[in-house]
């Protein structure tokens, strides 16, 4: 296999993974919205810093040479912030 074909195959695999990541994010955000409704109906604060820190800590421990702890933290801080915005709506 020539380099151009190899790159095309790897990019095709990345495209499939990206679609799967988006599908999983949509499911996560759907659940976050449902949690927001329960919180709003019961006057529970949207912010749960202990939970947020637990998520980031747990997932950061999955780091390796390809994905550093600080990168995992940055990714999930963004995901959590989007989830919180959806809970407010």
Structure confidence by residue, pLDDT tens digits, 9-28: 999 999 999 999 999 999 99
**pLDDT per residue over 39-85, tens digit each?**
999 999 999 999 999 999 999 999 899 999 999 999 999 999 999 99
Number of domains in the chain: 1
Give the domain range for residue 70: 3-88
The domain that holds 55 is classified in CATH as 1.20.59.10
Output the pLDDT for position 89. Answer: 74
Q: What is the three-state SS of the chain?
A: CCHHHHHHHHHHHHHHHHHHHHHHHHHHHHHHHHHHHHHHHCCCCCCCHHHHHHHHHHHHCCCCCCCCHHHHHHHHHHHHHHHHHHHHC
Cβ(11)–Cβ(64) below 8 Å: no
Q: Is the pTM of this model over 0.75?
A: yes
- Size (the chain), residues: 89
């Amino acid at each position: 296999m020539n380099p151009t074909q190899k790159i095309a195959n790897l990019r095709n695999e990345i495209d499939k993974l990206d679609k799967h990541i988006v599908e999983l994010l949509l499911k996560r955000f759907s659940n976050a919205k449902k949690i927001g409704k329960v919180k709003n109906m019961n006057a529970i604060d949207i912010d749960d810093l202990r939970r947020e820190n637990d998520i980031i800590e747990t997932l950061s421990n999955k780091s390796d040479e390809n994905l550093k702890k600080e990168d995992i933290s940055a990714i999930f801080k963004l995901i959590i912030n989007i989830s919180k915005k959806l809970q407010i709506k």
